[in-house]
Amino acid sequence: MHNSAFKGGAIQTMQILHTSPGLEDIWQLHWAYAAGLEQNSPGLFIANMDDNAAIANVLLNPPPTFGQRRAPGGPGAPGARKEHTGPAFWIKASAEADGTFSVTNTRNNFTKTYAAR
């Protein structure tokens, strides 16, 4: 899933993905605040995660849902969301001639290989 921490990964989207037949795993570029604890993929499959305090703060003080306006102010304003400033990790997919492919989370070097179908 090509998402950012505050864009993409809505609960309904994640529910649809998790219940899609034949979809083995959901790899995410960022932990999605909108999805909460229940709908995000396990940490092994997420390339960029905030620290525990930042995640806890957003869970306790959720951002407005789509269509609602945010309070005025930039990133430094009280209650404003945190912008990503740390290292950036990616998800690497490698395909083989036999139809198998491997996906690697560069944050933790977790790799999973998927068989050809």
Per-residue pLDDT of the chain (117 residues; tens, 9 = 90+): 888 888 889 999 999 999 999 999 999 999 998 898 889 999 999 999 887 787 777 778 766 654 444 444 444 444 555 566 678 999 999 999 999 999 999 999 999 999 998
Q: What pLDDT is recorded for position 12? A: 93
Task: Identify the pLDDT of residue 77.
Answer: 44
Which three-class secondary structure state does DSSP give residue 94? strand
Q: How many CB atoms lie within 10 A of CB 41?
A: 19
What predicted TM-score, i.e. pTM, was given to this entire model?
0.75
In this prediction, residue 78 carries a pLDDT of 47
Phi-psi region of 72 (alpha: psi -120 to 50; beta: other; left: phi over 0): beta
d(CA 107, CA 47): 5
Under a CB-based contact definition with an 8 Å cutoff, are residues 91 and 29 in contact? yes
